[in-house]
Structure 1
Amino acid sequence: MLTDFSVIQILLANLALLAGACLQGVAGYGIGTLAAPLLFLISPTLVPAPLVLNALVLTVFMLARNRAALQVREVRFALGGGVGGTVLATITLMLISAKGFELVFGVLILIGVLLSVGGLKPALNARNSILAGAASTYMGTITAVGGPPIALIYQNQKGPLVRANMSAFFLVASFFSLSALVASGYLGQRELQLFAVTFPGVLVGFWLSGKLVNRMPFDGLRPLILGIAATAGVAAIVRGLMSL
């Protein structure tokens, strides 16, 4: 039971997921970058498993909406890298304690922010796809923020292609991440309950993204999103250090 969660916390979690799902529906990624830091601040138990489950369902909706632009040949290299990232993430989760998780979470969030603002423009090729897939799955499994690495190689592509290919990658990568979370003990009944009570926010956010897909100023919101992520990353590191 979720007796230690207040109605306010559940409502705030749904609002965070609504915003993240809407952002991902418009830009192709973003539910992790925006929602994960906010969910962590509401309660660390909301990440990573409940958010990964929500992101999995969202990517199914996204892929159905943008399936006409999908190019499977490009995605397969990133998924190959994702296998390696999953193995590394499983080992990491098995080795770290709850206190260590907060530190790792915070560090990876800040790495994601740095990747987003670093100005890197890697080409969309097999090697970079493999590396991005590995980094994205590793980060996505531990923090549910797997967007920045894979987004780097798609930053110069057109909207429908980005949304379709990234959705296909995130769909399979989510299954990789869930298998790692189950194996490491981070996905159980409690996480499934948290997913059930927060999923309505994703549904509303995805519906809203359909209304805003050509109107939402993603570039204008980017500094705010990254600022939120950086703040939560620093907070996680501080909490982890204080609990040592």
Structure 2
Amino acid sequence: MLEILVVFCAVAVGSCMQRVSGMGLGLLAAPVLAMLMGPVEGVMVVNLLATINAVLTTFTVKHYVDWKAFGAIASVLWLGALPAVLLINHMPGAWLQLIVGALLLIALGGVVFGARHLPAIRGTIPMLAAGTVGGFMNTLAGVAGPAITVYAQASGWEQRSFAATLQPIFVVAGLVSFCAKLLGGSGGVANTSAWVWAAGIAAMMIGIALGGKLATKISRESARKAALACAFAGGATVTVRGILGIF
């Protein structure tokens, strides 16, 4: 029951943060579920929950979505998913945890500390590169947001449009990552407890509802900083656990 409670809290807070700032569920829930359920099953559960969450959130922000940017980024997510599946199939669990945690920390570091040093970029190629890296990150670690955030900051993408466009991107990313791992024989969720799904979906509904109310009271930037701080802690924990598992 402690595991179910932890899943509930991680998903509820992540969904709330995502409703306010545009991302948060994968950042917060992926490292937690990777520790509780393993780096493959845990991330696959996050992939599905993040897909459902993004579908629900997309309806609330659809008027601000840049559908052209969505089409470009979403079209190449599978290019990153395929090498991630190959890596999962040939990597021991402890090493996977280490890689998941390290990739999360590197991506977050780029978002937080690299923003001021990023050169201004324009054009389709950087957008496609962000989508490919996002697909790799989402398949391996359950987080596509940081890679696309780096592109958004470098390109000067307006925050409201960016946060809204992330939602349908997350829908496609979650489905691509989950299906790639399932069809590639990397893992599955057949043995995942029904209580995990019940807790995750209930927490998601509560988080989205609470986030809708907090969105008018908390700035997107404040919520984003809180989500990033929690994600740093989760990424560090997964990294340490992977290192301990190896040695």
TM class by shorter chain equals 0.7 to 0.9
For residue 122 of structure 1, report the CA deviation from its aligned partner: 4.9
1:102 alignment counterpart: 97
The amino acid that maps onto 1:20 is G
For residue 221 of structure 1, report the CA deviation from its aligned partner: 4.8
1:185 alignment counterpart: 186
For residue 112 of structure 1, report the CA deviation from its aligned partner: 1.9
2-side partners of 1:51 and 1:175: how far apart? 11
Q: What TM-score results when the alignment is normalised by the length of structure 1?
A: 0.87
Report the CA distance shift for 1:158/1:147 in structure 2 as closer, same or farther (over 3 A). Answer: same
2:110 alignment counterpart: 115
Report the CA distance shift for 1:56/1:122 in structure 2 as closer, same or farther (over 3 A). Answer: farther
1:12 alignment counterpart: 6
Superposed structure 1 runs of 4+ greater than 4 Å apart: 221-224
Query: Contact conserved, 1:27 with 1:163, CA < 8 A, in 2?
Result: yes
Q: Which deviates the most, 203-212 or 189-198?
A: 189-198
2:42 alignment counterpart: 47
The amino acid that maps onto 1:17 is V
5+ residue gaps, structure 2: none
2:142 alignment counterpart: 144
For residue 103 of structure 1, report the CA deviation from its aligned partner: 1.4
Q: Which deviates the most, 168-177 or 158-167?
A: 158-167
Query: Contact conserved, 1:63 with 1:164, CA < 8 A, in 2?
Result: yes
1-side partners of 2:193 and 2:152: how far apart? 32
Among 193, 212, 215, the residue aligned to 1:213: 215
How many pairs are equivalent?
Answer: 238
1:60 alignment counterpart: 55
2-side partners of 1:63 and 1:92: how far apart? 31
For residue 54 of structure 1, report the CA deviation from its aligned partner: 0.7
1:77 alignment counterpart: 72
Where 2:217 maps in the other structure, the secondary structure is coil
2-side partners of 1:58 and 1:34: how far apart? 14
1-side partners of 2:180 and 2:126: how far apart? 23
The amino acid that maps onto 1:195 is W
